[in-house]
Amino acid sequence: MGDSMMQYRNSGPYSYIRTEEIDQDILQSDNTFLHMLYKKLQDGDINTFEYVGFAYLFGNSGLPADFDKAFCFLQAAAQGGSISAQHFLADCYAYGIGIPEDLEAAQNYYRLSSQSSVPEIREAALHQLESLKQK
């Protein structure tokens, strides 16, 4: 991924993760599929950002569990249109999971994920939007 930094939100102001850390995590993993995805990650492929984000979240596919790195990748995927990343971030903001609660951000991400073509995701997002109105 080179010599740059990835931005993520962590309890207040934006912080950064050095992409060298991510490169090291991926290249040191023994997961050949992750190694194959490395080029797509460098190209900014949204589906790959989602995959790597969830891999960091759950500590699988050869990557260590790291919420900050997961959040960074999932935020990029959500901004690129990933419905599952949008819904995950909405839950994080709504319930203060790993980050401070932010109901406005939660509503924004739930609105985005409510556009899903998957009925279960769409219905869950609409239900969560209604629940947030009660807060």
For residue 46, count other CB atoms closer than 10 A to its CB: 16
Structure tokens at 83: 């419905």
Q: Give the per-residue pLDDT at 12.
A: 41
Q: Give the per-residue pLDDT at 98.
A: 87
Q: How does pLDDT run across 76-103, given as a tens digit for each residue?
A: 899 899 999 999 999 999 999 988 999 9
Low-confidence ranges of the chain (pLDDT < 70): 1-17
User: What pTM was computed for the model?
Assistant: 0.81
The set of residues, in sequence order, having a beta carbon less than 8 Å from that of 133 and lying 6+ positions away, is none
